[in-house]
């Protein structure tokens, strides 16, 4: 492989531009962008590391999709419209087939959201992808984390838990002995468990893997929530942990304690998890992470608007609970009784 750094950029990442979002794109010391009148620039950065955020054998097209998707998800959670992004990457070697697939996955999602690659950096090193994404939003309309108030409804988009289950199956952890689904002839550990659900169907696992590898950032929802939601966050570290960020910041902003009740029967657990124990479904849906759905708060009068919005976007929006004026998050069953659970947010250093 004699492909050099600058040729690599030209071959895989410079594109003959159509209409451009940036005043100046790839190829100078800096890119230049300018927000529209009355708009501010929303910025988020995410670093993806092999072995932590993706498996070494991941489909590079899916990786290109996901590296940008997790960043677009942050824009969505802010109610910002995508403008552009920078891509910094360390590569162990120049593998043209890998780069072709990676950039195709990356640009397919970028084009779907009219988000232009405006700059970057490439170097040799252990595989590492760092995308910084830019959007625009009027500063007063931004969906911050700190606007939740006691009495607000708690909402979530889409379904929860499938990506975390796909990871658990892949890691073949003791709590999720689903390795057998890859090989229908192999004995299922779950089957040998008294009272355990049957071996999950392959279709469920395939669907869960798709959710893990191809998360769909809820950009259109974020834009629509600008005038509706009091607070929003995207679900990357697990529902309970991410809800905790919203409650902590909102309580600090409002000067009064906040907590939440979550109505477990209403939580939209992905149907791929139907065959699991309830304790497993709770753990995956509340603490699994990698969902990239939006969790948001809105006052009760917004319910009809949100029902209409759900229909117009073709995206399930589910009311899962209430923000309360007492610290702590409680999970309630169909009778309103507390369910004990342990759900810690994913932390890269614990």
Please give the residues from 130 up to 159 whose contact with its own copies meets the rule CB under 8 A.
130, 132, 134-135, 137, 139, 142-146
Q: Is 89 in the site for its own copies (CB under 8 A)?
A: yes
Cβ nearer to its own copies, comparing 152 with 263: 152
Cβ nearer to its own copies, comparing 125 with 325: 125
CB of 324 to its own copies, least distance (A): 22
Q: Is 121 in the site for its own copies (CB under 8 A)?
A: yes
First to last CA, the chain: 39
Residues in 318-347 at the binding interface with its own copies, rule: CB under 8 A: 347
Q: How far is CA 145 from the centre of its chain?
A: 16
| One of 18, 28, 174, 203 touching its own copies (CB under 8 A) | 28
Q: Is 78 in the site for its own copies (CB under 8 A)?
A: yes
Q: Is 80 in the site for its own copies (CB under 8 A)?
A: yes
CA distance 120 to 135: 17
Is residue 91 within 8 Å of residue 129, measured between CB atoms? no
Fill in the per-residue mask, 203 to 242: x = in contact with its own copies (CB under 8 A), - = not in contact. -----------------------------xxx--------
CB of 269 to its own copies, least distance (A): 24
Residues in 248-307 at the binding interface with its own copies, rule: CB under 8 A: 249
Is residue 224 within 8 Å of residue 305, measured between CB atoms? no
Is residue 276 within 8 Å of residue 345, measured between CB atoms? no
Q: Is 75 in the site for its own copies (CB under 8 A)?
A: yes
Q: Which long-range contacts (CB under 8 A, 24 or more apart) does 341-344 make?
A: 341/279, 341/282, 341/283, 341/286, 342/287, 343/238, 343/239, 343/240, 343/241, 343/282, 343/283, 343/286, 343/287, 344/238, 344/240, 344/241, 344/287
């Amino acid at each position: 492989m004699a492909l050099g750094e600058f040729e690599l950029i030209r071959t895989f990442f410079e594109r003959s531009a159509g209409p451009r979002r940036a005043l100046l794109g790839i190829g100078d010391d800096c890119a230049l962008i300018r927000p529209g009148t009355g708009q501010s620039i929303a910025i988020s950065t995410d670093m993806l590391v092999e072995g932590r955020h993706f498996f070494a054998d991941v489909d590079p097209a899916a990786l290109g999709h996901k590296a940008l998707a997790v960043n677009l998800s942050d824009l969505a959670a802010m109610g910002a419209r995508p403008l552009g992004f920078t891509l910094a990457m360390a590569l162990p070697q120049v593998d043209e087939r890998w780069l072709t697939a990676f950039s195709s996955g990356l640009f397919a999602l970028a084009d779907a959201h009219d988000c232009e690659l405006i700059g970057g950096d490439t170097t040799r090193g252990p595989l590492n992808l760092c995308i910084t994404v830019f959007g625009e939003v009027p500063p007063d309309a931004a969906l911050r984390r700190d606007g939740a108030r006691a009495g607000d409804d708690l909402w979530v988009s889409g379904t929860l838990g499938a990506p975390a289950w796909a990871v658990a199956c892949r890691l073949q952890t003791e709590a999720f002995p689903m390795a057998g689904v890859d090989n229908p002839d192999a004995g299922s550990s779950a089957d040998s468990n008294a009272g355990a659900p049957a071996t999950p169907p392959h279709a469920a696992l395939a669907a869960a893997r798709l959710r893990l590898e191809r998360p769909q950032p809820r950009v259109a929802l974020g834009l629509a929530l600008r005038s509706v939601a009091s607070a929003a966050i995207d679900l990357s570290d697990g529902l309970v942990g991410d809800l905790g960020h919203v409650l902590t910041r909102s309580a600090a902003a409002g000067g009064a304690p906040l907590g939440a009740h979550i109505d477990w029967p209403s939580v939209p657990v992905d149907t791929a998890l139907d065959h699991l124990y309830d304790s497993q479904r709770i753990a995956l849906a509340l603490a699994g992470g990698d969902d990239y759905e939006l969790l948001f708060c809105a006052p009760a009068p917004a319910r009809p608007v949100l029902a209409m919005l759900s229909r117009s976007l073709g995206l399930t929006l589910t009311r899962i609970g209430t923000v309360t004026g007492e610290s702590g998050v409680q999970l309630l069953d169909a009778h309103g009784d507390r369910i004990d659970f342990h759900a810690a947010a994913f932390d890269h250093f614990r």
